[in-house]
Amino acid sequence: MTKYKLEYIWLDGYKPVPNLRGKTQIKEFDAFPTLEQLPLWGFDGSSTLQAEGHSSDCVLKPVACYPDGARTNGVLVMCEVMMPDGVTPHATNKRATILDDPGAWFGFEQEYFMYKDGRPLGFPTAGYPAPQGPYYTGVGYSNVGSVAREIVEKHLDLCLAAGINHEGINAEVAKGQWEFQIFGKGSKKAADEMWMARYLLQRLTESYGIDIEYHCKPLGDTDWNGSGMHANFSTEYMRTVGGKAYFEAMMKAFGENWKEHIDVYGPDNDKRLTGKHETAPWNKFSYGVADRGASIRVPHSFVKGDAYKGYLEDRRPNSQGDPYAIASQILKTIASVPTSAKSAAA
Ligand code: ADP
Ligand code: MN
Ligand code: MN
Ligand code: MN
């Protein structure tokens, strides 16, 4: 028997966006535990805005587990928050609202800033560094500084050790701004892995005295880019049948539900989706082929040969958005597309 360090990780009840929380328990297993072997656990919901003081226990239900590359015999346990009965999802549990669909695939592109001493890493104590231009995909000390690359590399290795489907890294347009991508097959997988990847990034940067700033426009109304979390998505039907009629019906549904989407695409998005810096205005839904100034970008590969088949990119979700809430709303809108649009396409 080996003693494993189980880190139970969950989302609290803070609004407009939840924070990650985690605590450790030690348990003995013959080998690295399976999800089924991991017990329910509890926590004090009154400290996380998930319960009132007098009856404050909430239940943690493990939903995914990963090897923890930073800890000997460590297990990262992603949990859903449940009511005391252990079966009713807590009101703050957005994962439980995602339609179960093994054929749904998501790819999230997480942009973020590293912050030290209250400003983006590499910014001078007063004023600004040289304007945007050389930083995006840049190399060299004056472009990326001296520790950022070490951090993103370590983060990548932690994600890979965990079995998270991290797909890539790039330095972003603003100084101190970076991106990584996570792709997953199944309606909840990429969102689970995105939350776990965020956890690993925040934990890793503690010892550097660096915070991860997820706000979508931390430098306000300046010439410094904001941060997004583009959501690339496809369903099995979109990938295998598709068709122009179905695509148009889908875009109609996205247009009609634009407000429901913006409501869960992260706070302060009106400050980022201004129509500038490769964004579409937050309150006006649009789509276009290869158009990075549209709400939804339709890749060339999608329209190729008039097939209208493959994946689409919703560019509106921001860096602070909850991937559970985002995936949930996208699948809800797709599910609302009339089936008649499908028969018309077939
Ligand atoms: P860009 O920055 O040009 O928008 P990225 O390479 O950063 O492109 O991100 C593209 C994302 O699309 C990746 O996360 C990728 O996994 C995802 N993706 C690719 N194919 C599909 C698909 N069929 N369904 C859902 N997501 C997909
Ligand atoms: Mn990208
Ligand atoms: Mn980007
Ligand atoms: Mn993108």
- pTM over 0.85? The answer is yes
Using the mean position of ligand 4's atoms as its centre, give its distance from the Cα of residue 156 in Å.
19
Task: For the chain, give every domain's residue range.
Answer: 2-92, 104-227, 239-346
Nearest atom in ligand 1 to 181's CA: 14
Q: What is the pLDDT of residues 289-338, one digit of tens each?
A: 999 999 999 999 999 999 999 999 999 999 999 999 999 999 999 999 99
Tell me which of 108, 193, 311 to substitute to probe ligand 1's pocket, judged by most ligand atoms within 8 Å of the beta carbon: 311
Q: Is 228 touching ligand 1 by the criterion CB < 6 Å?
A: no
Q: What is the pLDDT of residue 345?
A: 46
Q: What is the pLDDT of residue 344?
A: 54
Query: Which CATH number does the domain 104-227 belong to among 3.40.50.10470, 3.30.590.10, 3.30.70.330, 3.40.50.2300?
Result: 3.30.590.10
Domains 104-227 and 239-346 share a fold: yes
* CB count in 10 Å sphere of residue 28: 9
Q: Is 230 touching ligand 1 by the criterion CB < 6 Å?
A: yes
Name which residue sits closest to atom 22 of ligand 1, judged by CA: 311
Q: Is 107 touching ligand 1 by the criterion CB < 6 Å?
A: yes
Q: What is the pLDDT of residues 43-82, one digit of tens each?
A: 999 999 999 877 789 999 999 999 999 999 999 999 999 9
Q: What is the pLDDT of residue 322?
A: 98
Q: What is the pLDDT of residue 342?
A: 87
pLDDT mean over 213-237: 97
Using the mean position of ligand 1's atoms as its centre, give its distance from the Cα of residue 233 in Å.
8
Using the mean position of ligand 2's atoms as its centre, give its distance from the Cα of residue 277 in Å.
14
Least confident segment among 127-141, 150-164, 267-281: 267-281
CATH topology of domain 239-346: Creatine Kinase; Chain A, domain 2 (3.30.590)
Q: What is the pLDDT of residue 343?
A: 62
Q: Is 233 touching ligand 1 by the criterion CB < 6 Å?
A: yes
pLDDT mean over 190-208: 99
The DSSP secondary structure of 160-224, one letter per residue, reads HHHT--EEEEEE-SSTTEEEEEEEEESTTHHHHHHHHHHHHHHHHHHTTT-EEE--S-TT-SSSS
Mention the CATH class of domain 2-92. alpha beta
Nearest atom in ligand 1 to 183's CA: 16
Is residue 216 within 8 Å of residue 271, measured between CB atoms?
A: yes
